[in-house]
Each structure stands twice: as C-alpha cells, then as structure tokens.
Amino acid sequence: MATTISQPITNEAKVKAKSMWIASPAVDLLLFIFAPLLIWGSVMVARGWVSSEWIWLLAISFCSVGHHLPGFLRAYGDSEFFRLYRTRLIVAPLLFIAACYTFELAGFVGLKVIILLWAIWHGMMQTFGLMRIYDAKRGIHSGWGRQLDFLLCATFFLAGTILSPARTFDLIRRIVTSGVPLTFDPTWILFLQKITIGATISVAAIYVLFQIVQMVKGSPVSPMKFALAAGTGWIWWLCGSQGVDPLLGVAMFEIFHAVQYLAIVWIVQQKTYHSWASRLGRFHFGSFPGGLLLAYLGLIGIYGAIHFFTIGQQASSLVEWHRESEGWMTILLTLPMVLLGTSTLMHYYLDGFIWKVRQSKVQKDLGIQQEPTGLKERLVSQRGHLAKWSLFVVPAVLLFLLQWQMSQSGNQLQAQETYGLGDLYTTLAPNSADAHLYRAKEALRESKYDKALESAAKAHELDPKDWEAWAVTGNAYHEIRVYDFAATAYYHAEKLKPNDPDLLWNLFYAQMLGEQWEPALKTSKRLEKFPAGTTIYTPRDLGIIYAGWAEDEYESGKYEHSKELWKKTFEYYPDDYAVKVRLAFACLKLGEKQEVLDAWKDAIAIEENSIRVRQEFAGFLMEAEYWKEAVAVYVELLEDWPRDEEGWMNLGVAYWRLGEIEYAKSAFQNAVVYEPFMGEAYYNHGLMLFQTYKDEAEKKENLQAVSDLWKQAEKVGFTVQPALWQRWRVRWKQAQ
C-alpha cells in the first residue's frame, strides 16, 4: 500500500522554495493562471470555424482521454513505482474492466453516475493540489490553511454543480435512468441550493479573513494560489452556466483541466522522461531542443486519436451494432466502450496516489518542502485506501441492483428514458433549460404539440441561446401545419447554430410549404453549398420553389414574372411536360401566341407525341380560341384515333368558329355516329344551324333541323335552356 518516501531537503530545494512560481512566471501565467481566459477566447474563435460538436469531440478525445496517458506511463513505466504499488496496479484495472463489462453488457448506465461524481471530485482535487504546491513553494505549511484550501475548492465545485441548472439536470437524469427512485419533495433541491450558497459565502469569508490575519502577522502568502482559485472557480462556473452551449462548456473545462494536468506532470516527470529517452541511443527525442516535449505531446495525441477514430466518430454505430449483436460479437463491440470506461476510472484512481506532493521525489522535482509523513499516518493511509474502494464498489453494486430490479419489473430502461420523465425533470430542476427541452421533446414524440410548444418556450426563456428550443418549436408547428411559424422558429434556430444542414433543410421545407418563395430561394442557395449527401436537399427542390412561386404570380395576375419563373422551373424539371403547359398559360395571358405554340410543341415532344397530351393541347387551343390551330391538331388526332367522339365534336365547333359550316356539320355527325348518346354534339350542331343561314329558305330549313337536333339532345339527357327554345319559337313563327 501507499508508503511515503522522505529525503533531506537539499540547498537547491531551499532556494527554489523562495520562488512563488511552479515552473517560471511565463509558464505559470500561461498554463495555470490565465489559461481559463485564453481557453475561453480560443474556443469562442474556433466556434466560428467549426461546430460545437466537433470542438467537443476534439476536446474529449485529445484532452480528456489523451491526458490519461501520463499517469499510466508513471504507474507502469517507472519500475520503482510499480514495485511499490504492484498489487494496486494489477488488481485495479481488472476490477474496473469487470465493472465496465458488467454494466455495458447489461445495458445499464449506473456506472456513468459514479464516473460523473468522481470526475467532479477529480477536478476539484487537482485544483486543491496546485494550490498546495503554490503554498509549498512559498514555504507555507499551515494546517488551517490546508483545510481552508480544501473547503474553498469543495464549496466552489459544489456550488458550480448544484447551482448550475444544466449540471443539476444532467446529474438527476443519470440518477433516474440508473433506477434510483427520485420521489422526494423537489423543494429539497432548493433547500440544498440555499445551504450551498450559505456555505460557499461563509467559507469564502473565513478564507479571506484567514489570509488577512496571515498577512498582518507577517506570514508569507501565495498570490498565485488566489489567482489560480479565482480562475478555476470562474471557468467552472462559466462552463456550467445557463447561457453557454453545454458541449462548449464541457469542452472548455476539459481543455483547461488537461492543460494544467499535462503541464504539472511534465514538470514533475521531465527528468524521468529524459532518462527514458536516453536509452534510445545517441539520437533520441531529447537530443534536440523541444524534441522530448514534442514526443510527450505526440504520444498523448496518439492516445487521444484512438478514441477519436474508434469511439468518437462511430459512437452511434457502435451502439446500434451492439443492440443487434449476440454472443461473442456483443463482447467484441462493447470492448471500445469498456476500454474507455476503464481508462477513465484508472485515471481517476491513479491520480489519488501517484502524484502525492508528500512523496519526496515529487517534492524534489517541484522544488518544495513539506513535513515528513510519520508511520502512523502511512498506516492510516493504507487502511484508508481500502476504505476508499468501498466508495466505488458499494454504489456500483447498488446501482446495478436498482437498475436490474427496474428492468425486471417491466419498466424497461428505454421506456423509462423515453416516456414520462419530462414532468419529473422539470419538477426537480425547474430552472434547467435542458429539463424543459427534454419535456418538450418528450411531448413532441407523444404528439402533445401544445405541451411541446409550452415547454420549448420555457426552455428558450431560460436559455435564449439554446438553438434546440427553437428547433423543437419549429417541429411542433410543422406537425400542426402552421408552416409560417415553423419557418420563423427554424430561422431563429439556424441563427444560433449557423450552417447546420439539417436546420437549413427544415427551414427550407417549412418556407416551401408556407409558400414563402423568395426566402426559400435564398435558403436553397445556401443548401447548394453543402457537399452532396450532407442533406436530403437536391437541386430539383429549387424547381419546386420556382413552380410554386410561378403559380402564385399567375394567380396574382403577374403573368410576365410567372412566365420567367416557369422557364426557371423547366431548367430543373426538363422532363416534366406540365411545366411547359403552365408556361403556355402564362404566355397566353400575355398574348404571345407563338410562344404558346412553342411551349406546347415542347410539351408534346417531352411526352413523345402522346395522344393524351395532344388532346390536352387541342383542348387548350379551343379555350384560347385558336380555332385554326385547333382544327389542325384535331384533324391529325382523329387520323390516329377516329373513334374519339369528343374530338369530332370539338372539331365541329372549331370549324363552325372558322365559318366552315359544311365541315362542321360533318364533324358533328361523326361525333354522334361514334357516340349516339352524346347530347352536347346534337346541341352544338343545332346551335350552329340556329345561328347560321344565308336566306329565308335556308333559315326555315335550319330551324326545322335545329328542332330535331335539340329534341334528340334532350332525349339522350341533355337540357336545352328554355330561353333558347323560346327564341326558336319566335323565329319559327316568323319563318312561317
């Protein structure tokens, strides 16, 4: 178990102890003191170039996972250290692998609760350790100071967790989905928050008072420690605040934590790394300036890249394959997640004892002095180490049993996670935008659109920068077909998350359905810039915009613009004859006869001279009163299909309008030959005779024929207007 190594303090260490810096003013200010501001600024700049998801993924892979490696190098690469802690270093990874596999294969998430809480503790203890190093550099070994440093870190991190709606919701969600029944009164959370605020203020006040007393007494103080605490508290609070993108919040703190960790490890282990490198021969990494540091960072990058290229970019696929796999394949597909969990747990575990400042080697490398640890404290530490294992084992077993019981009771995890939790989360975390957003998504899945809109509005109120709240609002309005409101919501979402292809597509589609043609056209131009396959948008979608817009312009009487839009539509739909037909209608309104005929000619060519389209063309010519052209089309049509009774009748009307009465009579007669019950043909034939005659003799003859034709029309079911019959009687009487 843990044994503290003590050695006499050298003159070199005494000289170093007078300095307030861990490494040097430049290094300390850059990597420890002003790192929060530099990281925040860098991430904000990077956000303009890459998405929050990519920043998060890079931070998790190369900072969060990558910084695990130095601890493993010390634990398993330092032979003296490995001999000292052989049992721990062999047993611990086996236990963690077993725990991770047990939870992963069962599909349980309880271990993530432990990892989250341990991560917070781990981050807090790193800050505490750095504060103690700064004190030791100044020769400060006050027991009260040490306790107050610990309490200050504890209250800062506790407040940044309990008072952060985002972190509160995340913790509650993990606990609930782990099977822990959270049925207590939610006012307890408010009470806990008040207690946390009171404790934080009290500790901070006592801390400041203690430092003032120390300065009055003439005792040394470490201003760098205060700056470190302030910077860490600020970035911890910032990363969990409501207005910060949760992914960026996690990314910023992981980068900050890794930068500090890697810097202090480099300072402590630099001599060891040089010793290892020298074994490679004359030309090794340490043989040229900066070479060893580059090798150090390169190895960390490689370790992080393993996560980036295995789990990071394939997480969703791994989960899907895991669900569909069986037997050994399940174990194999689970391995990457198990190794990640084991790496994380081992990192937290090792950092509990491998970098202890009480170790003489660490003291020497840092140039500090602390009081030697006695045998009694070492024995307590050994027993305490075993007790600390219970803090992992007992909760892990309980969480596994709770989730197993939940799965056996019929409340499957997926159902528990998907349905019925929104109200619970918003009750337990009423100020969490994420909780209300979860409730909105849940309501949307259940088709409770009013509830979804209400919860999304609350989420937006709590966090105006949350693009997802606007996206859910857009989805809800889309489902109830209020497309104008949906487009507005998607517009706001896309402003908060620029150039997201899915949001742009949703905006474009809502604008199209809402007939917002000009905005949709602008959105489509942006969608065209994305690589093929990035979205479901295709260039033909632009044709839909032009078509809808052209139709609206036609209905509004803006025929010239409608004509131009139909031409644009045809560029995207060159195989759609209907586009040419609509173009012909627009040209007809403009009196452009030749363009009308050309458009129809193109339409017929597209449909390969189809009889159906030619019939449509002929009907169009009849409506347009292009009688000569109509005759030509019908004559050609009837040669191909002579039994078209309607074609014969329309041909008769066209001939009639051209004054070709004999041809018209023949056409009307052919119509009723092919369809004896075609009352309209009898009627039109009679109407033509009623209106055309050369002299009184022909008039009387025609009137008799009209009577016979109209009577035949009525006989087959066609109604002749009484007014026409009245006019016929008047003329018939006059003709007698």
Q: Which two tokens stand for residue 226?
A: 């205060």
Instruction: Give every CB contact of residue 3 below 8 A, 6+ residues apart in sequence.
Output: 84, 378
In a domain, 360, yes or no: yes
Enumerate residue ranges in the chain where pLDDT < 50: 1-17, 282-283, 287, 315-327, 374-380, 412-419
pLDDT for res 313: 53
d(CA 596, CA 581): 9
Rounded Cα distance, 458 and 432, in Å: 9
CA–CA dist 446, 431 (Å, integer): 23
From residue 71, how far is each of 58, 258, 292 by CA, in Å?
20, 12, 17
Buried b (16+ CB within 10 A) or exposed e, 322-352: beeeeeeebeebbbbbbbbbbbbbbbbbbbb
Task: Supply the range of the domain harboring residue 402.
Answer: 11-408
Assess if residue 300 is contained within a domain: yes
As a whole number of angstroms, the distance between CA 358 and CA 627 comes to 106
**Residue 417 domain flag:** no
Q: pLDDT tens digits for 156-177? A: 999 999 998 889 888 888 888 8
Predicted pLDDT at 419: 46
pTM of the model: 0.70
Number of domains in the chain: 1
The three-state secondary structure class of 546 is helix
The answer to whether residue 476 sits within a structural domain is no
Domain for residue 285, yes or no? yes
Note whether residue 297 is domain-resident. yes
Instruction: Say how far apart CA 273 and CA 297 lie, in whole Å.
Output: 12
Angle (CA) 539 542 544, round 5°: 120
Radius of gyration of the chain measured on its C-alpha atoms: 42
In a domain, 375, yes or no: yes
The DSSP H or E segment spanning 703 is helix 696-715
Cα-Cα-Cα-Cα dihedral sign, residues 359, 363, 366, 368:
positive
Angle at 676 between CA 675 and CA 682, to 5 degrees: 100
Flag whether 704 is in a domain. no
> Residue 429 and residue 366: Cα distance in Å, rounded?
44
